[in-house]
Chain A
C-alpha cells in the first residue's frame, strides 16, 4: 500500500472517530441549554400540556435511548423530523445547502482571486507607489473589521440610497438571474472581506519567506526570468500556507454565514441552525451541526491530503 493511500485511510479513520465525538457533544450540549423545546414553544402553557407534548415527541425518553435512536437513524442517512415543523430536515437541507454553499464558495473565490494576487503583489515588492501601501492597509482593514459591522454598513447604504443591489429577499438564479445577483452581492462581499485580508497577508508573508530561500537564489543565478522564478518556485512553495489558511477560512465561513444569512435574510443552513437553537429544535441543531462538522472535517482531511501531495515529507512523517 502506498504511503499516500495509508495516509488517507488514517485520516478517514480519525475523521470517523471525531464525528462520533461531535455527535455526543452536540446531543448533550443542546440539552444543557436552559429551556426545553416544549417550554420554549409553549412558554405560558400548563405543565401537563408540555409533558404531553414531550411524550408525543419522545423527549421524555432517557437520554441514552434518544441518543442511540438518533445515531442509528443518522447512520442510515435519516436526519429526522424537525420538532417544530414536523417536516424532514433532509428536505430543508436540500433547499438550503445550495444557498449556503453558493454564498460561501463565491466568497471564497472572491477572497482567493483578490487576496492571492494582492498578497503576492505586495510581498514580491512591486514598487508601484501607493499600491503596496494601499494593499497593506486594505488587508489590515478587512481583517480587523468584523462581519456584522461590514453587513450593517452595507445594509445602511442599501436602506439609505437607491442602489442597484437589494437585501431582505431571496430569489433563485434560475427564476431571476439579475434579481439573484442583486441579492447575492452584499452577502458575498461581506463574507469575502475577511478572507481577502487573511489570504493576502498570508500570501505576502509566504512569498517574502520563499524569496529568501537558497533555491530561489540558485534559480536566479541559473538565469531564470523573474516570471519563471515566481511561477515555478515562489507560487508553488508559498501555496502551502495559503492552502492552510484557505481551509481555515472555509471553516470560518461556516460561522460567518450564520450571521450574514441572519442579517440579509438569506434562507441558508446557518439561519436554519440558528433558529433551531433559538427554538430548541434539537433535531435541527443536531443535524445541522453534524452536517457542518462533516464538512469541516472533510475539508481538513482534504487539506491534509493536499499537504501530503504537495510535500512528500508530510506523508512519510519526515518533518526534517
Chain B
C-alpha cells in the first residue's frame, strides 16, 4: 500500500504513515537518550552518594557552605583529622607536639605525601595554604577560628611549626576543617590551578567531571597516602534535592549512601526499607533565631523585647516537629556539655514573664515580617515560632522567598533589612568557636543584626586565650553562655540533626558514624567497601 494517497490533489497521512511517524519519533527520542550524559557506573567498584545540595564554591579557604565542605573533605586533607569522638587524629601530619604553655605546635608531616598530580606536599604548601586562608585579602571567614597565629615556619622538609600569640584550645581540630585544607600552593601561585573551577588535593578521591546541579564523578587518587585506600575506584555524587528520590534510589540500589540533611521525615520514611542502616550522628550544628538589634526602627533594639521573644520559645516543641534527634540547646551545643541550662535566667519558656517584659518595654501588640526559605525544616520551625510569638501578642507574617533573596536581606543588607530570621551555624569542634561570631568587630558578617556590646566582646575574646585544661575555662564558658542568653540577640533553638542512610547489604560504610561539626558527612569514605 502507498504511504500517501491522493485526495482532492492533496496528500494526507494514512494510518500506516501515522504509525510510521510515531515509530520514527520514538526511535528518535530514544536515540537522543543514547546521546545523553553517560555516568558509566561500574557497579562493582563505584559508590553512589546521593546528597541534597550542590557544592558551589570550590576554593577551600573561601568555601562557606556546608554543602561544599561535604565534597571538599573527600578531595582535600588538613594537617589533622578528627575521629568518631571529634578528637584530633593524624591527617597530613602524622604527629605533633604542643608546648607546655599551649602556644607552639610542631607538626611532623607524613613521609612521601603527594597531591593527586603526583607532586610532593612540602612545608611551603602547608604554610602557604594556612597563610592564604588567614590573609584578609583571601576573604576566608574561617580565619578567625585558627587562633592568633604569630608565625609559621619549617625547619626541614617534614616539619611545620605554628606559633600562637596565646593558647587556643580548638586549634588541632580546627585544622581538620575543609577551610584549613592544604592546597598545592605552587600550582596556585603559578596560575596553573584555578581554585574556583578546579580541585587538586591529597584526599582519597579526585574530581573527574561535574555536571552542575546533577552529578560529580570522582575517581581514586592514585597518590593517596594510605596504602590500599580508597577501596572503591569511583565515587559518584548525585545531587538529589527530594527525600523521595533519595529513598527510591536507596530502594532500587542505585544509591548506596544517602544524605537527607536535617529532613524531619527522613527517619520515618527510611524505616520502611529493608537493608538500610540509618545513621544520625551527634552534631554541634545548631539552629538559631537572630533578631535585629541594629536597625534603628527594629523593636529588638530594646533588650526587654528580645528577652520576651526568647522566653516565648518552646524548644521542645520545635525539636519534636523537626524529629530526627534534634535537641533543645543552649548557646553551646549539648555535646560540649559547657553550659548548664538551670543557671540561665532567659531560657525556659515562660509566657507570663514574656508578657510582663513586653509590658515593661511599653510594647503592645505588634506585627513583624519573618523571611523564610521554604523547606520542610524551616516550615516546621517557623510554624512553631509563629504560634509561640502569637502567645505573647506578636503577630509574625512569614514571607517566603528563595535563598538568594534571603541572603540579600539578611547578610548583604547592613543592617539586616528584616526584624528577625532563623538560620543555622556549623558548631565546629569546640564550644568557644561559635561565640566568636557574636563579636561583630571580628566576625563581620553578624554586624547586620548583632549588637556591638563591648562587655560581651571582651568575654568572648577572653575564651580564646584559655587552654583546654585551664581550670577557669568552665566558669568562663558558663559566663559567656549566660551573657548570650541574657542579651537575647542570637537566640539558640535546637541542634541540627543530619540523617544519613546506607544500603548495608551493598556497602560497608560503618565509618560514617561519628560526631561532627564540620559537615564531614562522608567521614572515612576511603574505607567504604562494596559487598
Contacts and interface: CB of A to CB of B under 8 A. Distances in A.
B251 interface: yes
B239 A92 contact: no
A34 B38 contact: no
A158 B248 CA distance: 6
B34 interface: yes
A295 B242 CA distance: 29
B254 interface: yes
B37 interface: yes
Interface residues of A, number: 69
A45 B412 CA distance: 9
B158 interface: no
A173 interface: yes
Interface string B213-255: 1110000000000000000000000111110111111011011
A59 B25 CA distance: 43
B422 to A, nearest CB: 15
A267 B215 contact: yes
A109 interface: yes
Nearest to B403: A278
B33 interface: yes
Interface residues of B, number: 73
A272 B411 contact: no
A154 to B, nearest CB: 9
Residue of A36, A84, A86, A169 with most partner-chain B CB within 10 A: A169
Nearest to B210: A85
A163 to B, nearest CB: 9
Interface in A135-168: 152, 155-156, 158-160, 162, 166-168
Interface stretch (B54-62, B314-322, B329-337, B380-388): B54-62
Given A98-B35, A106-B26, A40 B407 contact: yes
Given A82-B212, A85-B210, A170 B25 contact: no
B364 interface: no
A44 interface: yes
B176 to A, nearest CB: 20
Interface stretch (A202-210, A241-249, A258-266): A258-266
Given A43-B407, A180-B33, A175 B40 contact: yes
Interface in B1-42: 7, 12, 14-15, 22, 25-26, 28-41
A267 B216 CA distance: 12
B37 A95 contact: yes
B62 A279 contact: no
B213 A105 contact: no
Interface centre among A82, A98, A265, A275 (most CB of B within 10 A): A265
A124 interface: no
Contacts of B249: 166-169, 265
A158 B32 contact: no
Interface in A84-119: 84-87, 92, 95-96, 98-99, 101-102, 105-106, 109, 112-113
A95 B404 CA distance: 27
19 contacts: A35-B408, A39-B412, A41-B56, A43-B65, A43-B407, A43-B411, A44-B411, A45-B139, A46-B444, A49-B138, A86-B197, A102-B30, A168-B240, A168-B254, A172-B33, A263-B245, A265-B239, A275-B212, A284-B212
Interface of B: 7, 12, 14-15, 22, 25-26, 28-41, 48, 50, 54, 56-57, 62, 64-65, 136-139, 141, 194, 196-197, 210-215, 238-242, 244-249, 251-252, 254-255, 269, 272, 401-409, 411-412, 444-445
Given A34-B401, A166-B249, A168-B50, 14 more contacts: A34-B408, A46-B445, A87-B197, A99-B36, A106-B30, A109-B26, A113-B22, A155-B242, A158-B251, A159-B247, A172-B36, A267-B214, A277-B402, A284-B212
Interface of A: 33-36, 39-46, 48-50, 52, 82, 84-87, 92, 95-96, 98-99, 101-102, 105-106, 109, 112-113, 152, 155-156, 158-160, 162, 166-175, 180, 184, 231-232, 236, 262-265, 267, 271-272, 274-275, 277-280, 284
